[in-house]
Structure 1
């Protein structure tokens, strides 16, 4: 498969944010608040999938991981610290430049690439992650199929994405962009996928969903796992059988 899934306008939008991607108070502040919650879920699924001790600090040692739509490396770097050989790919060359610079400063060896996932050399990965990306591509079905093609036998895939509900339209698109919580133009509500729709795409790509949970606002922590899926959700999948 080599169909293009990158939306050039989306790539340009996120590339323009590259310079302060790592600033927790900058334009990516929302991602910095989301990331610890995502990481908690990813770690839980890693432990369950590979029967890893929860106290093991390098649960991905000896395994490979790819973060698709990696931005400037906010998730790729923790995956590397968990012991994985990490590849990161993003549509925006500006993000990849920022990711490489930051990883070098942290002493982390991460293989970063700009461009289409299909353009990477043939390889599969034990862990495939893609956070808040599927709602930005031109063809979600092709994109999910590309992700599935990169998942090694016995591997684990974890995605997160906003849900297409009236609440997400009100809070994630209209209110969040109006008050500046996320940059204007970040979200197109019509592109959001309901959990059933994303599940169908995963199953059509030969995967089975093994877990799903809501990701919702928390007055105490900013965000929390569990509870309502009305705004956002995380989904874990593996090959069928």
Structure 2
């Protein structure tokens, strides 16, 4: 039976063309490498709070099954595996999977990487305690259908963490003009402004998909310190949400 999909072939092609550079900290994914520690801090805090885990333990996420949708080269999958989670990394761009597999093997990590979509996993009846949905929703053709598939992938009381980019003049200036045209961290055309989603829009989509939003915060870049931080108030460019599936 054919499974409907929300993937945008043009978006997949963009990231497949950059697949070999995922682990190059000075390459096209430099912005993600810079943001990654801040993303991980938020993710770890939310998972520990939701599942009553102690982050000081050697494997605090032991026994939790986690999906990293749009996993790319594994920048989030690998630390989640190190923390003890059973990780499935899924990406619609086939070229990303061997890159992620090779790096995981070199790192001594066991991660189940798959070239597939959220919709196909949901159709197969897969279930997870946690879905990491980071910087993906602004690249799909139908955000509500995509988030609904993510909701279907969660077990009761499961947690979805979803980050994306706000839509306003500041986000256009920083993520498109700044990152793509001035700094040239990303190829021109990586982001499409019309696909950016405001926090209120995302919360509405999450709610309509059948989840309850429980937290949202901003990821803020400071050009003076050349670093990222988490903000309770500033969601003007990059931001992240945590949502749960009622039991």
Q: TM-score, normalised by structure 1?
A: 0.96
1:71 Cα deviation from its structure 2 partner: 0.4
Q: What is the CA–CA distance in structure 2 between the aligned matches of 1:130 and 1:59, rounded to whole Å?
A: 21
Q: What is the CA–CA distance in structure 2 between the aligned matches of 1:204 and 1:240, rounded to whole Å?
A: 13
**What is residue 72 of structure 2 aligned with on the other side?**
71
- 1:106-185 alignment runs, 5 A limit: 106-120=107-121, 121-179=124-182, 180-185=184-189
Helix, strand or coil for the counterpart of 1:126? strand
Does structure 1 conserve the Cα–Cα contact (< 8 Å) formed by 2:119 and 2:146?
no
> Of 216, 234, 238, which aligns to 2:240?
234
**What is residue 89 of structure 1 aligned with on the other side?**
90
Question: Runs of 5+ in structure 1 lacking a partner?
Answer: none
Question: Runs of 5+ in structure 2 lacking a partner?
Answer: none
**What is residue 229 of structure 2 aligned with on the other side?**
224
1:175 Cα deviation from its structure 2 partner: 2.1
1:54 Cα deviation from its structure 2 partner: 3.2
Helix, strand or coil for the counterpart of 1:80? helix
Superposed CA RMSD: 1.3
Give CA deviations for 1:193-225 in whole Å, capped at 9, x if unaligned.
111111111111111011110111023251110
Helix, strand or coil for the counterpart of 2:95? helix
Q: What is the CA–CA distance in structure 2 between the aligned matches of 1:10 and 1:172, rounded to whole Å?
A: 16
Q: Point out the more displaced range, 215-224 or 8-17.
A: 215-224
1:185 Cα deviation from its structure 2 partner: 1.2
Q: What is the CA–CA distance in structure 1 between the aligned matches of 2:226 and 2:28, rounded to whole Å?
A: 19
> Of 215, 222, 227, which aligns to 2:219?
215
Give CA deviations for 1:69-112 in whole Å, capped at 9, x if unaligned.
00011100111111011001111111111011111111111111
**What is residue 197 of structure 1 aligned with on the other side?**
201
Q: Point out the more displaced range, 229-238 or 43-52.
A: 43-52
Helix, strand or coil for the counterpart of 2:53? coil
Q: Point out the more displaced range, 215-224 or 205-214.
A: 215-224
Q: TM-score, normalised by structure 2?
A: 0.94
Does structure 1 conserve the Cα–Cα contact (< 8 Å) formed by 2:130 and 2:160?
yes
Helix, strand or coil for the counterpart of 2:44? helix
How many positions carry a matched residue from both structures?
Answer: 241
Q: What is the CA–CA distance in structure 1 between the aligned matches of 2:3 and 2:199, rounded to whole Å?
A: 26
Does structure 2 conserve the Cα–Cα contact (< 8 Å) formed by 1:46 and 1:59?
no
